[in-house]
């Protein structure tokens, strides 16, 4: 990955870099986070999100399981 791609993967990017893209642009790069949701790896993320919002961690997790 380029430096810009690495930054974007971490959520750091310029508005000018946002554009419509073909799914093929992500071929071999994209990975689903759903298995991590199921195995509990994302539970700390849901806890953190719950601290900042109005839902419990379980409610946040349930929302993403839809």
Q: Please list, in sequence order, all residues whose beta carbon lies within 8 angstroms of the beta carbon of residue 57, skipping any fewer than 6 positions away.
A: 43, 46, 47, 49, 50
The predicted-structure confidence for 8-47, as pLDDT tens digits, reads as follows 888 898 888 888 988 888 788 778 899 999 999 999 999 9
* 3-state SS, residue 49: helix
How many structural domains compose the chain?
A: 1
Could you give the CA distance from residue 23 to residue 55 in angstroms, rounded to a whole number?
32
Asked if residue 66 belongs to a domain, the reply is yes
* Residue 39 pLDDT: 97
Full residue range of the structural domain in which residue 55 is found? 30-66
pLDDT at residue 57 above 80?
A: yes
* Residue 47 pLDDT: 96
Contact 32, 41 (CB under 8 A): no
Grade residue 59 by pLDDT with cuts at 50, 70 and 90.
very high
Asked if residue 38 belongs to a domain, the reply is yes
* Residue 25 pLDDT: 81
Asked if residue 25 belongs to a domain, the reply is no
Q: Please list, in sequence order, all residues whose beta carbon lies within 8 angstroms of the beta carbon of residue 7, skipping any fewer than 6 positions away.
A: 13
């Amino acid at each position: 990955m380029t430096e810009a791609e690495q930054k974007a993967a971490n959520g750091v990017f310029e508005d000018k870099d946002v554009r419509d893209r073909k799914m093929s642009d992500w071929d071999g790069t994209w990975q689903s986070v759903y298995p991590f949701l199921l195995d509990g790896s994302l539970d700390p993320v849901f806890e953190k999100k719950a601290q900042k919002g109005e839902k419990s961690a379980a409610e946040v997790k349930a929302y993403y399981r839809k």
